[in-house]
Amino acid sequence: MKCWRTLVLISAALMTWACPSQAALFDHSTLDGILRHYVDQDGYVDYDSIRLNSMTALESYFETMAGTDLAGWPAAERRAFWINAYNAQVLYRVAQNSRLKKMSAAWWILDRPFKVAGGMSSPIDIKRLLRKEGEPRILFSLSDGTLGGPKLCGTAYTADNLDVLLQTNASAFVNSPQNVKVEDGHLQLSKFFNWYARDFQKEGGVQAFISELLNPNQRDDADLMRRLLTMAYRKTTFVYNWTFNDLKNKAVAAPRQTGLPDAVIPPDAFSTSNPDLSKSQ
């Protein structure tokens, strides 16, 4: 019996080796190499080194993206393409403008269009497109270059790693005390959950989404958080840190997050704009 099972396992392994998975429809290795080299495990970016050594590589990557036809692509391949396009463009623009300190003073970085998938789209356009997918976990894979936003992943997205990374990123964001914590007896959340609240409606709302991802193995206060989400959500305060996720900011105490009036929002959060990117979908 053991010999028979061994033969079956060997045969399966040989079949897997002889029939590799289908090749990716787009090569993201250039971006992957840059992310692996310049982004640390905490999501801080060495923008100075990128500006000195890798701007040409990023420009070459954008050139290959410019005329790509996404027609007929599987959803995972298409989503990975757009997520990488967003992150790469923000990475490039922040590295290009090292004098800037906070995204709140540089909205134009997110609103500047570039040629991608046969059309002109800005990072704001791309986020709006991806939000229409109805998958809120995607939000946590789009890094806007700030310390308050989703952490930049140190690898490019592909169809193969997409679902795992979407779940990992969402869980990491929720379980970070920076984004979900108790302050002075009240729940304090990243303003990210306020800006994009409607994206979580299909998951039962922000409270249900956070509660589902809170992990007692990662934080001792998970049960307290769930109670506050259920019983005292109206007293929640929302904060955000607009400082760029520059490696230089890791060596010093990061500026405190600040509560912001509702009028101060990213230009893509509550917009009803519906960009026509149908040719690229």
Per-residue pLDDT tens over the stretch 199-219: 999 999 999 999 999 999 999
Contact between 21 and 220 (Cβ < 8 Å): no
Pick from 42-51, 99-108, 252-261: least confident: 252-261
Q: Given pLDDT bands bounded at 50, 70 and 90, which one contains residue 100?
A: confident
Record the tokens describing residue 94, joined without a space: 């922040």
pLDDT(84) > 70: yes
Per-residue pLDDT tens over the stretch 7-55: 334 344 434 333 334 567 999 999 999 999 999 999 999 999 999 999 9
pLDDT(269) > 80: no
Residue 275 CA neighbour count, 13 Å, CB half: 22
Give the strands of the sheet with 186-190, arranged side by side.
180-183, 186-190, 237-240, 258-259
Q: What confidence score (pLDDT) does residue 94 get?
A: 96
| Cα–Cα distance for residue pair 129/136, rounded to 1 Å | 12
Q: Quick one: which H or E segment has residue 210?
A: helix 206-213
